[in-house]
Amino acid sequence: MTVPERRIRPRRPGRRFDLRATAVLFGLAAVALIVVGWLVRMALDVAERRPAWAVVLVLGGVVAGIVWVRGRAGFSPRRLVRRATGALEAATATTLDALEKPTAAPTRGAHVIEEPAMEPVVDHEEPAAEAAVDHEELSPDEFEQAIADLCVRDGCAEVEVVGGAGDLGADVVAVAPDGRRVVIQCKYYGDGNKVGSQDLQRFGGTCFTVHEADVAVLVTSSDFTAPAAEYAEQCGILCVNESQLRDWSEGLGPAPWALNDLVEEATEPSDRCSQ
């Protein structure tokens, strides 16, 4: 009877002990432990000083772990992007909450460094000058409106342009800042045509008795004759010629109702001139 021959597997030669390789392996392991310890210590310091960043790092590690596990079971880019986006949103919300928390008050005895107070910046620029209006280029209606605008600018209330047919000498009425009623007649004349005494007499006959003016003003784009100026002084009517009007318009002169030296306050309305 034939007996089958048993095949004998050749023995593999065992690894020889290498002292140099073993020393290198232990050295690398020691370096790896030192690096891991340093990373752990740094992470603890960051967690103590910046809790928000610690949360971000932890979430990043979780995301990396999920990616590694999913990579072994099957990689899905859509799921990875969705999870990473959710983790980033949560980390951002946590960071914002940590930043919005009020800073704790310093403990008693702690040294607080106060920042120097900022001095307010003072603007020393001079106010811009009022834009001058060329009254010679206006129409009579525009001239009346320009006078009304000056009254509004200087603080008058209830300013109204009433000039026209049947105005009985009043073109602009207003209430001065001190409460007095101001009645203004506007005479839009050229340089060669001055306001005469007849114009003043017609205005003087209605400004106090009909319009009940506390301050009566006649404003012209020209000038006044000597008799007209004399009559106006007797009746307590303020005369504003072209030069005075320009100063008033440019803010270089007072408003007519502020010219108290030209107003005879002692004169009663009943004693004033009438036509």
Number of H helices, E strands in the chain: 7, 5
Residue 77 lies in a domain: yes
pLDDT average, residue stretch 71-90? 62
Residues 53 and 171 in one domain: no
Beta strands in the chain (DSSP E): 157-161, 172-175, 181-187, 215-220, 237-240
> What would the pLDDT profile of 18-30 be if each residue is shown by its tens digit?
677 777 778 888 8
Residues 147 and 248 in one domain: yes
Helix residue ranges, H only, 180-269: 197-207, 226-235, 242-249
Q: By the 8 A CB rule, do 59 and 87 touch? A: yes
Residues 72 and 161 in one domain: no
CA–CA dist 180, 151 (Å, integer):
13
Confidence of residue 126 (pLDDT cuts 50, 70, 90): very low
Q: Using the 8-state DSSP alphabet, how is residue 137 labeled?
A: G
CA–CA dist 91, 52 (Å, integer):
8
3-state DSSP call for residue 113?
Answer: coil
DSSP per position, 56-94: HHHHHHHHHHHHHHHHHH---HHHHHHHHHHHHHHHHHH
Residues 73 and 172 in one domain: no
Tokens in use for 143?
Answer: 């001239």
Residues 92 and 150 in one domain: no
3-state DSSP call for residue 271?
Answer: helix
Residue type, 128: A
pLDDT average, residue stretch 158-169? 83
Check which CATH number belongs to the domain holding 187 and give it: 3.40.1350.10
Indicate the average pLDDT of the chain: 76
Query: Of 49, 83, 98, which residue constitutes the final position of a domain?
Result: 98
* Structural domains counted in the chain: 2
pTM of the model: 0.49
Residues 84 and 198 in one domain: no
Query: Of 98, 119, 154, which residue constitutes the final position of a domain?
Result: 98
227 versus 164: the higher-pLDDT residue is 227
Query: Of 71, 98, 125, which residue constitutes the final position of a domain?
Result: 98
pLDDT at 1: 55
Residue 14 lies in a domain: no
> What would the pLDDT profile of 109-118 be if each residue is shown by its tens digit?
545 455 555 5
pLDDT at 221: 93
pLDDT average, residue stretch 208-231? 94
Residues 153 and 265 in one domain: yes
Domain that includes residue 249, residue range: 135-271
Residues 85 and 195 in one domain: no
